[in-house]
């Protein structure tokens, strides 16, 4: 069995500052870390899929390292559109998985799963894009690990959400990624963040899932002229689980949406 926990869009701020001057994103992330530490069985790995900070400032990354210190699980972070590559790299210089130059792609073994994190950020902008070099890196990794199940992680999801103010800052060049993934049968799923909501789609035949934020959730407004808005809905994370004990003797995979917080229960029925 392999289990990867995914949290996203944590928007850490300097000490004493609030996200959008309203929400204590640092306290909410601390609660997420405490929740991850209580998981039983413990995940093999934790992935934080971008927007680690709100403004990409060195003092925000210092705060992030402080908030991550209690996490008892192995983890990796990847950049989002609110992050700064150089400052992120400097803050995590002691982590061997992080590239020392260029785009922040990396591959990590998490149990039986090969996790491939692909940097989709465009410095100075909020939309996502994959350079030819990024796609070449991904192709090499998929060929090298052709006998492994692979989960690809992006910050920007490779699909249109239908929420107009989100799609202004979506991924611009999805087709090359779709064509590449179609050539490799070992891609099990693609996960992303960015949209502060749980969404499910497909890229060709591959499932794509997005992870909610540990802070605010973006409003589901589908009207073409909708104004941007968010809600203080329950924060959540994703738990991706692979098992070889399916009823039919085949391996199985499932992704769970897990809310963060205190709720009534457990109740004596299911």
Q: What is the pLDDT of residues 9-55, one digit of tens each?
A: 999 999 999 999 999 999 999 999 999 999 999 999 999 999 999 99
Tens digits of residue pLDDT in 159-186: 999 999 999 999 999 999 999 999 999 9
Contact 42, 75 (CB under 8 A): no
CA pair distance 58, 95, nearest whole angstrom: 17
Residue 53: DSSP 8-state: B
pLDDT given at position 243: 87
- Looking at every residue in the chain, the average pLDDT score rounds to 95
Among candidate residues 81, 96, 45, the one with its CA nearest the CA of residue 166: 81
Q: What is the residue extent of each domain of the chain? A: 2-259
CA pair distance 5, 36, nearest whole angstrom: 8
Work out the pLDDT band at 251, boundaries 50, 70, 90: low
pLDDT given at position 247: 53
**Residue 250: pLDDT above 70?**
no
CA pair distance 62, 87, nearest whole angstrom: 10
- The CATH number for 2-259, chosen from 3.60.21.10, 3.40.470.10, 3.40.50.300, 3.40.140.10, is 3.60.21.10
Tokens, residue 113: 């799963």
Please list the residues that pair with 45 across neighbouring strands.
4
pLDDT given at position 252: 80
Q: Which of 111-120, 132-141, 261-270 has the lowest mean pLDDT?
A: 261-270
pLDDT given at position 44: 96
pLDDT given at position 130: 96
pLDDT given at position 245: 62
């Amino acid at each position: 069995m392999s289990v990867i926990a995914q949290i996203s869009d944590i928007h850490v701020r300097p000490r004493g500052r609030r996200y959008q001057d309203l929400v204590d994103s640092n306290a909410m992330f601390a609660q997420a870390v405490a929740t991850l530490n209580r998981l039983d069985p413990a995940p093999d790995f934790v992935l934080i899929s971008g927007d680690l900070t709100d403004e990409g400032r060195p003092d925000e990354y210092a705060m992030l390292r402080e908030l991550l210190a209690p996490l008892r699980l192995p983890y990796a972070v990847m950049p989002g559109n609110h992050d700064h590559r150089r400052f992120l790299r400097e803050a995590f210089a002691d982590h061997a998985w992080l590239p020392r130059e260029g785009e922040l792609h990396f591959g990590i073994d998490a149990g039986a799963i090969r996790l491939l994190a692909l940097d989709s950020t465009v410095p100075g902008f909020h939309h996502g894009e994959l350079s030819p070099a990024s796609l070449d890196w991904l192709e090499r990794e998929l060929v090298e690990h052709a006998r492994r199940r692979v989960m690809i992680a992006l910050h920007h999801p490779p699909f249109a959400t239908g929420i107009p103010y989100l799609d202004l800052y979506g991924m611009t060049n999805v087709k090359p990624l779709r064509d590449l993934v179609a050539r490799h049968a070992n891609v099990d799923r693609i996960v992303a963040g960015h949209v502060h909501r749980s969404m499910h789609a497909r890229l060709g035949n591959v499932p794509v899932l997005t992870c909610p934020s540990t802070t605010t959730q973006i409003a589901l407004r589908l009207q073409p002229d909708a104004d941007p808005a968010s809600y203080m809905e329950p924060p959540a994370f994703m738990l991706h689980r692979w098992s070889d004990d399916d009823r039919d003797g085949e391996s199985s995979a499932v992704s769970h949406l897990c809310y963060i917080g205190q709720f009534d229960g457990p109740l004596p029925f299911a």
